[in-house]
Amino acid sequence: MALLRDPLLNKGTAFTEQERDALGLRGFLPAHVFSMQTQVERVMANLRELPSDLAKYVALNELHDRNEALFFRVVCDNIDEIQPLIYTPTVGLACQRFGYIFQRPRGLFIAACDRGRIAELLANWPYATKLIVVTDGERILGLGDLGANGMGIPVGKLSLYCACAGIHPELCLPVVLDVGTNNEALLNDPYYIGMRQRRLSGAAYDEFVDEFVTAARETFPGVMIQFEDFANHSAFRLLHKYRDIIPVFNDDIQGTAAVALAGLFSALRVTGGKLKDQTVLFLGAGEAATGIADLIVSAMMAEGLTEAEAVRRNWLVDSRGLVVKDRAGLTEHKLRYAHDQAPIEQFLAAINTLKPTAIIGVAAVGGAFTPEVLQTMAGLNERPIVFALSNPTSKAECSAEEAYRHTGGRALFACGSPFDPVNLDGKTYVPRQGNNSYIFPGVGLGATACGARLVTDEMFMVAAHALAQLVSQEDLAQGSLYPALPRIREVSARIAEAVAVVAYNNGLATGHAPNDMAAFIHSKMYDPHY
């Protein structure tokens, strides 16, 4: 019975006749032995009959808790259909409703009341972990503070690590640091799963996080930690605190940057322009915006610009308007992009003044790329670059259909949530999601495969180049700036190779570099089967 209740070992109706005899399963299972392929087909048939995406999310969670190999086989074989259900956009709704749909715990919930014994909690975890995704739930997607309900994010991210890059599920640990919530609705929700208290802050918060990081490194030597969906005021501070001493990264800052830069590289293959000649205007000035801008600056410098010249080509607009040098009270991460310029309150006015070649939306303000914004970009540029990267879908700056229609089909468009193909004036455009799942699984695979001691910006730069190189001319011809999602394991493997090469070249890897890096990476990839 223990086998049937362990999702890492359970095969359900696929246990063979010999296994049923040898493992004491005779009688617990119906007589017919099903192949894994038939099980996959049955899961998909049932899934497609469910009435809503949230119901499908719950059903997939149940499968994940019952049979991991089958769950990941379903995801791998149907990635286009399943990824939006287990991650964006559905995971946002799932986190909002987490207390209502909660069934079986997955990962570790480490609460503020556990201070002083976090190492004890981590020691309860039964597997030798190599990769932790951790959140404190303060800034879940564009939805804000969801507290302990944010566990859906690390669970979803690690599912993509396994499906998209082949990191074995036994090596993955999702963690939520439950430090309370300032969300009044959750504090008053009878089904909220987390601590009913206001968030820890200041020194108490930092000490709690530091205890977790220290205990994680001692319990799981060499473990890589990915920070996910922390609020700006914590995200930058924590990344800078740990990035030069342990293998840690923040996907909202660095992963988003790499996938956006890859999209720009792809767009420039269409326009024929150079990155160093672009002017990029961001709607948003938080983790994503400054992370993308920092990586663009590095890439522009690689093309010959000075740092000052490159920084000057990147501009931020926040809730108070254009970020300019004379504004009082700017937070540290905005200061680099606070230029000498008269204040401008409106995004459209900033476009008319700065005449950007690319606009990138990462502010989670739904509909902010208005028809006027898109038409103005089309008037300024033959092929305007328009990235509406906020998610979930309700927070997207514009839809694919709006981007193409209001630019006469000339926009080079990428999105943060999935949109269907668009038919306009007899041509079909296929927008692709600039989803971090193109980047972070490959980076994680490369770093863990070689035992990287740090995760560096250079690794994200080579990841962006590797991703862009996998976009075909056929992709570009139909408006796709990223490869087709069914190629994601190929993409992740290529990124992992590039990341591992950087680690070995910079003395950050364990042991000697393998003679055949591609074969080495593929040997580390989990293939879900019985």
DSSP label at residue 177: E
Whether the bond between 89 and the residue before it is cis, its omega within 30 degrees of 0, is yes
Q: In which element (H, E) is residue 441 found? A: helix 440-449
State the Cα–Cα distance between residues 173 and 298, nearest whole angstrom. 32
- Name every residue whose Cβ is closer than 8 Å to that of residue 266 and which is 6 or more positions away in sequence: 468, 471, 475, 476, 481, 482
Q: What is the 3-state secondary structure (H, E, C) of 68-100?
A: HHHHHHHHHHCHHHHHHHHCCCHHHHHHHCHHH
Residues forming beta bridges with residue 429, ordered by sequence position: 422
Contact 194, 151 (CB under 8 A): no
Contact 79, 40 (CB under 8 A): no
100 classed as catalytic = no
Residue with tokens 């089904």: 191
State the Cα–Cα distance between residues 403 and 406, nearest whole angstrom. 6
Q: In which element (H, E) is residue 134 found? A: strand 131-135
Contact 140, 150 (CB under 8 A): yes
End-to-end CA distance of the chain: 18
Order of strands across the sheet that contains 108-111: 108-111, 172-178, 131-135, 224-227, 248-250
> What token pair was written down for 425?
């004036």
- Name every residue whose Cβ is closer than 8 Å to that of residue 139 and which is 6 or more positions away in sequence: 145, 229, 230, 231, 232, 235
Instruction: Name the pairing type of β-strands 412-415 and 432-433.
Output: parallel
Query: What stretches of 328-415 adopt beta strand conformation (E)?
Result: 358-361, 385-388, 412-415
> What token pair was written down for 29?
């299972």
In angstroms, the Cα distances linking 396 to 116, 251, 330, 391, 479 are 41, 19, 26, 6, 18
Q: Which candidate in 157, 334, 395, 524 is catalytic?
A: 157
State the Cα–Cα distance between residues 466 and 460, nearest whole angstrom. 10
In angstroms, the Cα distances linking 55 to 107, 164, 227, 393, 412 are 21, 23, 28, 18, 34
Q: Which candidate in 11, 57, 87, 482 is catalytic?
A: 87
State the Cα–Cα distance between residues 211 and 117, nearest whole angstrom. 9
State the Cα–Cα distance between residues 24 and 1, nearest whole angstrom. 8
Size of the chain in residues: 530
Output the CA torsion sign for 212, 215, 217, 219: negative
> What token pair was written down for 379?
């008037």
87 classed as catalytic = yes
Residue with tokens 């205890």: 211
Which residues are tagged catalytic? Answer: 87, 157
